[in-house]
Amino acid sequence: MDDDGPGTAGAPLSTRRMDELCAAALEEHGCPSVSVAVAEHGEITFAQAYGWADVESRVAAAPGTPYALASVTKPFTATAVLLAADEQLLQLDAPVPLPAADLRDGHAAPTVRQLLQHRGGLAPHYDFHYGTTGRRRIDADRYTRTHRRPGSAFEYANLGYRLLGQVLESATGQSLGRFLEEHVCGPLGLTGFRLGSCYPSGQTETSSPPAGTQRAAVRYTADGRAYPERCDSSHPGASMGWATASEVALFAQAFGSLLQPATREAASEAHPVHSRLGYGLGWCVSRGGGPVVRSHGGSMGGTAVMAAAVPAQGLSVAVLTNSTRKAARDQIVEYVLRTLVPGFEPAQITPALAPSSRTTQLPHGSWTGTIRTPDADLPTVLRVLPDSRAELEVAGERAACRTAASDLVELQGVFPLQLPTADARLNSPLLALDLRGGNGPLTGTARSFKDGDSTGWLGNLLSHRCELTPA
């Protein structure tokens, strides 16, 4: 690597510039550490780590430090599913029965391919359980139901990758973690990858870390509090991977070598998410001109990470941090890709561009109906008020907020209202509404959640169908 100058697009990274940039980004955004790796044509050409993997114990981050991968776990799971399909252990277009099928939905079961594409009709969901076991857990089966017709639209769904892990385990007779280690990561030489609640213990198949690896990076809240070592979830295939930055960079470049050519090509056949990005079989794929970039980001309590590959250049990059806050990750990723990839734009790796926002056009008045939770259908009243405000009443509890509309929904708002269900009371104190419709019925989703981890730990996101008609 060069030791001076910021370089120009397509030039190698400057080690001195990276040292300065990463130190400044960690300081500016209060991020404990970052690990950065670049692979070119199958070889690691840059691997550096900065800051503290464990702030309290003053353990410095190193290139061999494993980090929690959050949603960068999804491409690993997708590769395992595609490999099993190549071996005719499962069929990509076979339907996957849902545990919480609701006859009122009237939808067919999603297929394996649709789940890989986040087009299975499932709603957003996550659940995290910290520390020791034995506490009450979310039963994710009760939320695994369709909110729209499978195949009709993209909606990011951890529950789809939960189902994919279960399908793979049934087809192979192995745990998802074991199959990933033996059939995906092993052949690629990625001996440090693990799937589990912590590294290396928890839901893993080995009793000790591989030689040469170090303690995993401790995860931290946005304001610098350490998360418990253990974090369990009902969707491990979506969220619970661990690896070093070098392993992630090599995987992003080499995963296709495990697959048959047609399957490898299908993985990058992406349905549009927006004008600059689509989602294929486990990967985001850029569109609309410029270099093709295949990527996946991940974030959850105490981690924000990104993997990206540019096949035409034989190049891949991984940036892993141990903070809930994404700002340091984004700043470093943008610098690295702008330096190495001529014509790169951040929209090529950003699935959630801010939608155009406008004032809702719903007439003032009331809508009544239900929010359908696993416990019960809760009586609901929505009152649209002047000055872009609305009042929501659920099971006798009321709250108000400002609302807006977008290209996708007619009314959206976040109400300081906790649903009166046992699951929502665990760690989901707010309720977001996203409703479609017009002067007639309103339909959409009510999501119980917690806004970040400024207090306690990141909460759960629980989606419920909402159906309202004019009063």
As a whole number, mean pLDDT of residues 95-107 equals 77
Q: Which domains does the chain have, with CATH numbers?
A: 67-349 (3.40.710.10), 357-470 (2.40.128)
- pTM for the model stands at 0.94
Tokens of 140: 């994710």
Least confident of 193-207, 210-224, 286-300: 193-207
As a whole number, mean pLDDT of residues 100-107 equals 67
Q: Taking all residues of the chain, what is their mean pLDDT, rounded to a whole number?
A: 92
Q: Given this model, what pLDDT does residue 352 score?
A: 78
Provide the β-strand partners of residue 208.
none
Q: Is 432 exposed, middle or buried (0-12, 13-18, 19+ CB in 10 A)?
A: middle
Helices 73-86/245-254 angle, 10° precision = 40
Asked whether residue 133 carries a pLDDT value surpassing 70, the answer given is no
> What is the separation of C-alpha 192 from the centre of its chain, rounded to a whole number of angstroms?
21
pLDDT in tens, 433-451: 999 987 789 999 999 999 9
pLDDT in tens, 260-298: 999 999 998 999 998 899 999 999 999 988 899 999 999
Asked whether residue 205 carries a pLDDT value surpassing 60, the answer given is no
pLDDT in tens, 316-358: 999 999 999 999 999 999 999 999 999 999 999 998 766 667 8
As a whole number, mean pLDDT of residues 199-225 equals 70
First to last CA, the chain: 67
At residue 163, the 3 state secondary structure works out as helix
Q: Given this model, what pLDDT does residue 246 score?
A: 98
